[in-house]
Chain A
Amino acid sequence: MKHTKIALAVTLVTASLATLALAQSTKTINIFGAFGGAEAAKFQAVIDVFEAKNPGVKVNYSTSADFNTVLNVRVQSGDYPDIAGIPQPGVMKDLAAKGALAPVAGATSSLIRKNYSPAWADLGKANDKKIYGVFHRVNVKGLVFYNKAAFEGAGYKVPKTWVELQALTKSMESSNTAPWCVGMESGGATGWVATDWLENIMLRTQTTKIYDQWISGAVKFNSEPVKNAFKVLDSIWGNPKAVYGGKGSIAATSFLDSAKGLFTKAPQCWLHMQGSFATDFLQDEIKKDLDNKVGVFVLPMINTKLPQTLEVGGDQFVMFKGKNRPEVQKFMSFLATGPSADAWSKLGGGLFPHKDQNLDAYKNKIERSFAEIILSAKSARFDASDAMPSAVNQAFWKGTTDWVTGGGTLDSVLNDIDAAYKK
């Protein structure tokens, strides 16, 4: 009995010490990101290319459904990952201000200057004007999707202006199918569909200067430009004939289900506005044949005097302080080059802003066309709510949800959101 105990104890100690010593000798890079599931599997293909080029380096990607919360807790306790993929520039700026991040190395920043348009480089800068973030997979918002066969069969034409779009939806109202499918239910994140709509309307009615001031808080929510955007949105959402199921169903319908409405057996609607990622939400048989089944146009400008500005989003990868080891820097540089984009674009479900990417690599024409929209954009702005401080973003989500479900008047909702700026 005594013997076995001692033998057990000795084995335990020596075996553990040996593995600990062994584990410390491999080079690993730990990446913590917001996307999971199929997207994480595609990111693994990007990692595979890097690992093949850099033998002896192991890259681990992990995620959490509650990414922001977990990242914040990890930062507070000093348990930094090496690299994090952050969807919100506001969060990146907060972390940089706290001194938790390391700016990208010189080699990476010259790659960024070479391979990206200045707008993307600027989005990766924190308040101290240093570049911290490398954008990899991005998306473009304010796209209107339609069922190609049904749309063309009904003799509809893609509208080039807001007036044409209004005339189109008016004539759609008299068909048996509603013009729009809208669903904003998204669990704890309910509200982002509404904020996306409002941001796109803002970019189509106001100058980019006003839009930037809105993000920084200089233009209040309870101000004419923002109120006007709500009014434009209400002219669509508040019209019972314009939305499938009427306004009352918007907050109760999942954003995933609403996209499918275009392709149900009897289509529920003609149009659906969403980001480029909406192709992922469609029915499997549609996803297999996107090029022939799905049509897309960019939501037209409302104030035609303004230049067309795109709303974009995307995850930026940042390095943490004290974690900028050579292999980590190497991975950051890799993300700023075309081959890291091609590894994913050929699998589908990802758009990339890299100038040196191979556009022929895209799995289908529709995604290639999105990428071309991104590359050719003269002016782009990031998703405003994601660029605002987290508390304001939350209040914006909640405020629009309350407004849609009758939980408050427009003025009271806007004042509530403005109050979130005061901490």
Chain B
Amino acid sequence: MKTNSSQPANQIITQGEQPQTLRLIGLIVALIVTLEVYRRVFLFLREGTADPWLIFGTSLLWGIGGVWLLFVLVTSIVDLLPTKAARNIMPWVFALPAISLVFYYLLIPTFRTFWLSLLDFESVKFVGLDNYAFAFTSPAMLESFKNTLIWIVFGGGMSVILGLFIAALADRTRPGFEVTVKTTVFLPMAISMVASAVIWRLVYQYRPGTDQIGLLNAVNVAFGGDPIAWMISRPLNTFLLVLILIWMQTGFALVVFSAAIKGLPSELLEAARIDGASEWQSFFKITIPYIQVTIISVTTTIVIFSLKVFDIVFGMTGGNFGTQVIANEQYSLAFRDFNNGRGAAVAMVLLLAVLPVVYFNIRDFGKESKGF
């Protein structure tokens, strides 16, 4: 190979055929060897008995170096094929890994979950729709449906409304101030859900007596109130949990809305002002219709987020005290009660609830990109 590349160009053309076939065979052998090593590495990692650092190093090495090696080998092989074939195959070299991962990690599990939802708790007997009957009648699930609705309506609604108003107001302030406001409101987005649950546990902390370490109760006691055990006061506790979602998602809504408002042509607003429209009128009659598509996609994104909410409830109340939501109930059924059938059925119900919203989200996303 080395001699080949250092030889003059005319020699490559005349002697090209022979070394190329050899090279192809060599590369294919190398590919087979690599795949075999990959198989062994996989078995080794699955065994998991070696020193943790060895496992860590091996997975790092083969997660990066191995993928690189496979990529180099496959692209080199494709490069040696006739130009037309190479052109047709090359896109698949790039797309196939992603497609097969989606197939393996999303499609197969979805169908398997559906199948499990028709079987009993240990996935042996076929029980038909019994698990779905459970999913729509059990007290815990009815409570979850009710609470999830609160999450969507109150959580989604407040995040969008707050985000929109802060974006509209911040747009009218000095740029420096606007950046500060936007950064402050956006910051919670950067915190993981479980970490926010930990933060808010401290805010809602309750102790009997007068010494309060929880922020909310400290304020409450300072103004002469009695400390309240927030997390066990129904139905207030669900709303207090939703507040965490609003705290996190308002920043997301704000940033997207702010960008959309900035895209609003200033001539439109100027014309409206000249025609004598008030600020309120121009906001509701011009700004909002103009960014409508953005509002819909932000709303649907937050609604999907609220439907799937798990970490906050898991971290704050564990689904106790009347705060259960669908995703946490699914976890409890599948991984605490070890009831595969019921867990799978609830997962399918959740999937069915999310699908129309996803469809809405994608449809409008398509509209938006057509507009550009």
What is the interface of chain A, defined by CB distance below 8 A to chain B? 2-3, 5, 8-9, 12-13, 15-17, 19-20, 23, 28, 30, 60, 66, 68-69, 72-73, 79, 94, 187-191, 244-246, 248-249, 251-253, 257, 268, 390-391, 394, 398, 401-402, 405, 407, 416, 420, 423
The answer for the CA separation of A402 and B324 in the assembled complex, in Å, is 12
* List of B residues within 8 angstroms of A420 by Cβ: 337
The answer for the CA separation of A19 and B57 in the assembled complex, in Å, is 10
- Decide: B338 and A390 in contact? CB cutoff 8 A: yes
CB distance from B31 to the nearest CB of A (A): 11
State which of A28, A398, A407 has its C-beta within 8 Å of the C-beta of B234.
A407
* List of B residues within 8 angstroms of A15 by Cβ: 61
- Decide: A23 and B44 in contact? CB cutoff 8 A: yes
Chain B, range 310-329, C-beta contacts under 8 Å to A: 314-315, 318-322
Chain B, range 292-339, C-beta contacts under 8 Å to A: 314-315, 318-322, 332, 335-339
The answer to whether B50 has its CB under 8 Å from any CB of chain A is yes
Extra contacts, 7 of them, besides A13-B37, A390-B337, A423-B120 (Cβ < 8 A), are: A5-B72, A9-B72, A23-B51, A66-B335, A245-B207, A252-B206, A420-B337
CB distance from A390 to the nearest CB of B (A): 6
Given contacts A20-B40, A28-B50, A394-B332, contact A12 B231 (CB under 8 A): no
State which of B69, B229, B234, B335 has its C-beta within 8 Å of the C-beta of A9.
B69
CB distance from B29 to the nearest CB of A (A): 12
- Decide: B69 and A423 in contact? CB cutoff 8 A: no
* List of B residues within 8 angstroms of A398 by Cβ: 140, 320
The answer for the CA separation of A19 and B37 in the assembled complex, in Å, is 12
**Complex: chain A residue closest to B139, CB-CB:** A416
CB distance from A385 to the nearest CB of B (A): 13
**Complex: chain B residue closest to A6, CB-CB:** B1
- Decide: A20 and B321 in contact? CB cutoff 8 A: no
Chain B, range 53-76, C-beta contacts under 8 Å to A: 54, 58, 61-62, 65-66, 69, 72
* List of A residues within 8 angstroms of B1 by Cβ: 2
Pick 28 A–B contacts, CB within 8 A, sort by A.
A8-B65, A12-B61, A15-B61, A16-B37, A16-B58, A17-B37, A23-B49, A23-B54, A30-B48, A30-B49, A60-B52, A66-B335, A69-B336, A94-B338, A187-B315, A188-B319, A190-B318, A190-B320, A191-B320, A249-B229, A252-B231, A390-B336, A390-B338, A398-B140, A405-B234, A405-B321, A416-B139, A420-B337
- Decide: A245 and B209 in contact? CB cutoff 8 A: yes
The answer to whether B5 has its CB under 8 Å from any CB of chain A is yes
- Decide: B54 and A394 in contact? CB cutoff 8 A: no
What is the interface of chain B, defined by CB distance below 8 A to chain A? 1-2, 5, 30, 33-34, 37, 40-41, 44, 46, 48-52, 54, 58, 61-62, 65-66, 69, 72, 120-121, 139-140, 206-209, 229, 231-232, 234, 314-315, 318-322, 332, 335-339
CB distance from B153 to the nearest CB of A (A): 23
- Decide: A249 and B2 in contact? CB cutoff 8 A: no
- Decide: A12 and B206 in contact? CB cutoff 8 A: no
* List of B residues within 8 angstroms of A423 by Cβ: 120-121, 339
What are the 5 A-B residue pairs with the smallest beta carbon separation, nearest first? A245-B208, A252-B229, A188-B318, A391-B337, A23-B50
* List of A residues within 8 angstroms of B33 by Cβ: 13
Given contacts A252-B229, A390-B338, A394-B337, contact A79 B48 (CB under 8 A): yes
The answer for the CA separation of A8 and B121 in the assembled complex, in Å, is 50
* List of A residues within 8 angstroms of B206 by Cβ: 249, 252-253
The answer for the CA separation of A187 and B318 in the assembled complex, in Å, is 5
CB distance from A26 to the nearest CB of B (A): 8
**Complex: chain B residue closest to A62, CB-CB:** B52
The answer for the CA separation of A405 and B235 in the assembled complex, in Å, is 12
The answer for the CA separation of A28 and B54 in the assembled complex, in Å, is 14
* List of A residues within 8 angstroms of B49 by Cβ: 23, 28, 30, 60
| B49, B65, B66, B139: most-surrounded residue (chain A CB, <10 A) | B49
The answer for the CA separation of A180 and B134 in the assembled complex, in Å, is 40
* List of A residues within 8 angstroms of B315 by Cβ: 187
- Decide: B336 and A20 in contact? CB cutoff 8 A: no
The answer for the CA separation of A189 and B318 in the assembled complex, in Å, is 8
**Complex: chain B residue closest to A72, CB-CB:** B338
CB distance from B344 to the nearest CB of A (A): 13
CB distance from A288 to the nearest CB of B (A): 24
- Decide: A12 and B320 in contact? CB cutoff 8 A: no
State which of B50, B62, B314, B322 has its C-beta within 8 Å of the C-beta of A407.
B322
* List of A residues within 8 angstroms of B30 by Cβ: 9
* List of A residues within 8 angstroms of B46 by Cβ: 79
- Decide: B208 and A249 in contact? CB cutoff 8 A: yes
* List of A residues within 8 angstroms of B2 by Cβ: 2-3
Given contacts A12-B65, A252-B229, contact A2 B5 (CB under 8 A): yes
* List of A residues within 8 angstroms of B319 by Cβ: 188
- Decide: B65 and A401 in contact? CB cutoff 8 A: no
**Complex: chain A residue closest to B69, CB-CB:** A9
**Complex: chain B residue closest to A12, CB-CB:** B65
* List of B residues within 8 angstroms of A253 by Cβ: 206-208
* List of A residues within 8 angstroms of B339 by Cβ: 391, 423
* List of A residues within 8 angstroms of B65 by Cβ: 8, 12
CB distance from B85 to the nearest CB of A (A): 24
- Decide: B229 and A391 in contact? CB cutoff 8 A: no
Given contacts A16-B58, A69-B335, A251-B321, contact A246 B208 (CB under 8 A): yes
The answer for the CA separation of A197 and B141 in the assembled complex, in Å, is 28
